Each structure stands twice: as structure tokens, then as C-alpha cells.
Amino acid sequence: MAKPFHLAWFMNFSVDEWNAPFASGGKPWNGQFYVDMAKAMERACFDYIMIEDTLMISDAYGGSMEAYLKYALMGPKGDPAPLAALIASQTSKMGVVATLSTMAYPPFMLARLCATLDNIAEGRFGWNIVTSGENHAAQNFGMDELPPRQQRYDMADEYVQLVKALWGSWEPGAVVLDRETDTYADFTKVKPINFEGKFFKSRGPLNCVPPVQGRPAFVQAGGSPRGRQFAAETADSIIAAASGVEAMKEYRDDIRKRAAAAGRDPDEVKVFFIVQPILGETDAEAKAKFDRYVGSPSYIAKTLSVIASVTDIDFSQFDLDKELPPLTTNGEQGSLNAFAQWGSGKTLRQLTVENATWGLEGVVGTPETVADRMADVMEQVGGDGFLITSPFQRVSRQYINEVCEGLVPALQRRGVTRTAYTKSTLRDTLKEF
């Protein structure tokens, strides 16, 4: 019997696939499109839906915001927290994860927001922890530029320590609801934390009840060595971009080694690899769909714009038919490394085409073909799951159905993904297998 693995979805509260043949209109701002998507995912027994976010509109590609707004790559987009609350209120079993930046939220505000969302979700909320990797985002919050990456992670370590203390500022049993003494909460079990660190300071306690889970599930994407360390020490679920099975296995093995060294059980750190299946009723139909996708006039500009936005590197300056020169960034170094495949000898054009499936071969085909490939990859890598995404994170109802009504049932028939929820909280769902 094959070992089961987890499924989640990486999406963006932005426009849907508004100008494709099966478009839904490009106006998802009341959230109902994504509520419908979440309901389809819940029927398919996904672990969670993850709402991505960035806090700026980039001009990294070509020194202009044109591509980002023309193609709706960086905007418009909505705040993930209200959408998370809406989705949680309309679902009952699947987890809901929102991206919230340690740069943008004072720790007390984030701790209260997450506690509120976890209570609305009845224990199904997760926080995708990001430090933000773009100077433009820092400039939207009154800074000239981001701190160096090492310092950002040092700050994030302390930030997580602080918010965990705030979630613990209400002891178990603090809410007593004693009618005879007219006591809602026992004040002796709610205490200030008086936290004072190198970067943050907070008196506490929280002025809301603690999260159902004690703390929300922690999701994190760590690609650089320092990012991997933070993720291994902190996260319940890690978002990973790795090109090919060998790189995927190396990443997961490294995370597990780091988690064990930090005193954690490696089995409780679930690595989800981003995958973008292209599906059709026949393999030939899926391949034709893929060829249309990567052959569209705007594909290269869109892809390089997205990579530029998270790395703060202008890829328009490089020859498409040559290898990339060595590059480093104060942005998302892990995303850059996964895209560039250093030492592979591949040209920028080849890298851009391969990015259509996030560097994983064999995920273009029928649901049966792709399910076989995903199961085989997980067996080679050792686990733990996949994070589905769609072209430029823009989804159509057609694509949602192809995945939820086609691919997932094929995976379920192979016994490799869940067919029912057995746990009531997201943290327990992630730990189930």
C-alpha cells in the first residue's frame, strides 16, 4: 500500500483567469469565487487553501509597473485575512491559511488577528509566515529598504517567540462562564507577558480569547540556508519550490535533518512541493494545452516579471538564449535558486519554459498520467505532499474542476490522498500521516 501524502492549494486573492475561453469575469472581489473554489477543494479533501500576499506593486521587470498591472500579476489583489474569514465561515473541515508579514503587522495585532481567525475557523486557521522580500514593500511601511535577510530571519525568530507568548497569555481554563458568580473569565489566569527582546517589546496579555489550536498552524517557505533553518525550527508545513526529484529529495532531507537537530520530530514538519499540473482528456490534448500556454506571446514577459518581483532582479536585461550569470539577492534567494538551476547549463528561455510546471517533468497529461507521476515522485522523495497552483496563480472554474473532479479522484483511487477528514483542527490534519 502506497504511503498517503497531503494536498493543498497555493492561490492569490486576485483576478481569476479573466480573459481565457472559460473565464469567470475578472471581478472576484466579493470573495464568492474563492468560496466556491474552497468548497470544491473541501469536497476533494485538501488539507488547506493558502492565500498568498505581497504588499506592493513591483517595477522590477524593465523598471516599470506596466507588466504587473497589464497582466494583473501583482495587482489588483485583496487582503487575505477577510477572505480567510469568509472561506472559514463557508467551510467546515478544510484548513484556511493566510499570508501575513512580520514586517507589516505589529506582533500584538497579528497575534490577535490570528487568534480571531482561528476561532472563526474553529481551529482550522494557519498563518503563512513571511518576512517580505521586496524593498518596495518596506517603502510602503515607512522604511527606505528591508533589513538584510539574516536580520529579517533573526527578527522573525523573535517575532514568533513573542506572538506565541501572547497566545499563551490566557491559561487553559481562563474562560469559566460561571453563572453563579457572574464570572466570564478568571482574571488570575490572564497575565501580562512583559516581553522585551532585541527587536520587539509587548506588555500583553491579548484582549481576546486564545486560538482554538493554542496557536494557528505555521506555514513557511524557506529556500536559502537561513530560510530553511527558520522553517525547520518553526513550521508545521513548508512551501517548497525545487526543480526535479533530486532537488526535492535534497530539500526535504535537509529540512528533516535541521528539524531533528533543533529538537523537533521531523515527521511533524510537512514539506509541500509546488506543482502546476496541466490536464486534458488525453495526453496529447494536455500537451497541446501546455504548448499553447508557453507559446503565448506574453508568457515569457509574465513569467520573468513574476520572478523579478520576488527577487528584485530585472530579468529583461539578460539574453534569453544564454545562461544566467551568477546572481544573489536580498529578496527571495530560494526562489531565485529554484528558478535558475545553477550549473545546469540551461538558457534563460529554457528555464522560463520549465517554470510552467515548476521544474517537475511528467505533470502534463490526463488525470491518470499525472496521478501516477505525482505518486511516483512522492515515493522517490519520501513525502510529504504537493501544493497545487495554476498559471500565474490565476484560476478558472474549469481548472478547479479539472483538479478537484479529475486529478484528485485519480489520486484517491491509488490510495495516496485522503478521502475523508478525520481530525477537527488543521494542525492535527497535518500530523495525521
Note whether 138 and 103 are within 8 A (CB). yes
> What pLDDT is attached to residue 1?
64
20 assigned to some structural domain: yes
What are residue 292's DSSP bridge partners?
none
User: Which cell numbers hold the place of 155?
Assistant: 527578527
For the chain, what is the domain count? Answer: 1
User: Which cell numbers hold the place of 15?
Assistant: 483576478
Per-residue pLDDT of the chain (433 residues; tens, 9 = 90+): 678 999 999 999 999 888 888 877 778 999 999 999 999 999 999 999 999 999 999 999 999 999 999 999 988 999 999 999 999 999 999 999 999 999 999 999 999 999 999 999 999 999 999 999 899 999 999 999 999 989 999 999 999 999 999 999 999 999 999 999 999 999 999 999 999 999 999 999 999 999 999 999 999 998 889 999 999 999 999 999 877 999 999 999 999 999 999 999 999 999 999 999 999 999 999 999 999 999 998 999 999 999 999 898 999 999 999 999 999 888 888 889 889 999 899 999 999 988 888 878 999 999 999 999 999 999 999 999 999 999 888 899 999 999 999 999 999 999 999 999 999 999 999 999 9
1 assigned to some structural domain: no
To the nearest 10 degrees (0 to 180), the angle between helices 107-120 and 80-90 is 20
User: Which cell numbers hold the place of 294?
Assistant: 508557453
> What pLDDT is attached to residue 267?
97
pTM, 2 dp: 0.94
Q: State which residues form the domain around 24.
A: 6-431
155 assigned to some structural domain: yes
> What pLDDT is attached to residue 359?
78
Note whether 138 and 132 are within 8 A (CB). yes
* DSSP state for residue 376 in the 8-state scheme: H
Q: In Å, how far are 165, 267, 323, 423, 424 from 431, measured between CA atoms?
A: 23, 8, 41, 9, 12
Which CATH number fits the domain that encloses residue 243? 3.20.20.30
Helix %, strand %, coil % of the chain (to 5): 45, 15, 40
- Rg of the chain over CA atoms, in angstroms? 21
17 assigned to some structural domain: yes
153 in helix, strand or coil? Answer: helix
230 assigned to some structural domain: yes
- Spatial distance between the Cα atoms of 111 and 115, rounded to a whole number of angstroms: 6
- Spatial distance between the Cα atoms of 7 and 386, rounded to a whole number of angstroms: 5
> What pLDDT is attached to residue 414?
97
HSE (side-chain half, CA atoms, 13 Å) at 136:
17
Residue 336 CA to its chain's centroid (Å): 17
385 in helix, strand or coil? Answer: strand
71 assigned to some structural domain: yes
Can you give the length of the chain in residues?
433
